[in-house]
Amino acid sequence: MLPILIPIEIVSFFIRPFALTIRLFANMLAGHAVYFVLLGLILSLAFAVPALAVAAGVFILEIVVSLIQAYIFIMLTAVFTGLTMHPAH
């Protein structure tokens, strides 16, 4: 069992930061995509005022989500760093 677990642990050690990076990037990209779609609706005069109001709300929501994601990213990084360091027994 040990020969199987050692490579799995080594691979998971390197995948964790990459997975955190992809997660943070995807959340930021999704927020920006929604924001730009709403701003694109401004070109239609019928949707200009509602689109601006919704875009302002989405912008505020995106700021809140960014703060939460930064907090989660920092906490998971601290946890993963703590898991790699073994205290002396």
- The model's pLDDT over 13-42, given as tens digits with 9 standing for 90+, comes to 888 888 888 888 888 788 888 888 888 888
For 77, the token pair is: 């990084």
What pLDDT does 79 receive?
A: 86
Among all chains, which residue has been given the structure tokens 């990084």? 77
Measured distance CA(88)–CA(3) in Å, rounded: 25
| Phi and psi based region of residue 85 (left: phi greater than 0; alpha: psi -120 to 50; beta: remaining) | beta
pTM above 0.85, yes or no: no
Q: Domain ranges for the chain, please list them.
A: 22-82
* Residue corresponding to tokens 């002396």: 88
